[in-house]
């Protein structure tokens, strides 16, 4: 069972499915919804579930560090696993608490982005400099380190703008006015 969830990309896919499923269900059941409310629901589940993934990453790095290090192509028995575990736990808890606390969203997004982009840069440096093509270094995690925070930040900015729109206004023109 642990092997299934530790397969690179599988846990991320499960989190994406959970975010889409829970967001869709909640949006459909919400009355008097606006664009801002829909985006808030998507952000709530995205930040909460990504936060939970940070807590689960803490478990993997803290208690299965040797296996994780091996999948990254890094030496086992190094205390960097404990450091990464602690960072994942801290960021994960802030995100998970985002289910209940909207004021935790921006601090979570800042911390998650800095941590993930720094980790992604380290993976890129190892890939280019050392030729480390291990699945845990150059696989799905490499893309997720950059794309996940960027996606969350974009949704957050769109949400913040939607909060400024009057609640009774419905967007009638497309988001893009570019003519093709």
Say what the pTM is. Answer: 0.84
pLDDT in tens, the chain (180 residues): 555 555 667 778 888 999 999 999 999 998 888 899 999 999 999 999 999 999 999 999 999 999 888 888 888 888 888 999 999 999 999 999 999 999 999 999 999 999 999 999 999 999 999 999 998 888 888 999 999 999 999 999 999 999 998 766 554 444 445 455
What 3-state class would DSSP assign to 101?
coil
34 within 8 A of 92, measured Cβ to Cβ: no
Q: Give the relative orientation of helices 10-29 and 140-164 as an angle to the nearest 10 degrees.
A: 20
**CA angle, 23 then 170 then 38, to 5°:** 10
Domain assignments of the chain as residue spans, ordered by start:
2-164
36 within 8 A of 168, measured Cβ to Cβ: no
- 52 by Cβ neighbours in 10 Å (0-12 / 13-18 / 19+) ranks as middle
Per-residue tokens: 112: 């998650």
């Amino acid at each position: 069972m642990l092997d299934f969830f530790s397969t690179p990309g599988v846990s991320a896919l499960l989190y994406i499915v959970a975010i889409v499923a829970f967001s869709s269900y909640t949006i459909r059941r919400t009355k008097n919804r606006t664009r801002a409310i829909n985006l808030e629901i998507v952000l709530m589940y995205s930040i909460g579930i990504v936060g939970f993934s940070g807590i689960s990453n803490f478990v993997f790095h803290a208690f299965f560090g040797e296996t994780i290090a091996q999948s990254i192509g890094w030496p086992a028995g190094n205390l960097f696993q404990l450091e990464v575990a602690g960072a994942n736990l801290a960021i994960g808890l802030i995100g998970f608490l985002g289910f209940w606390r909207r004021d935790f969203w921006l601090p979570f997004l800042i911390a998650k982005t800095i941590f993930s982009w720094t980790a992604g840069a380290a993976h890129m440096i190892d890939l280019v400099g050392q030729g480390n093509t291990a699945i845990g270094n150059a696989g799905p995690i490499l893309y997720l380190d950059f794309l996940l925070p960027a996606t969350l930040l974009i949704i957050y900015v769109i949400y913040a703008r939607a909060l400024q729109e009057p609640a009774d206004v419905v967007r009638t023109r497309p988001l893009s006015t570019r003519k093709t």
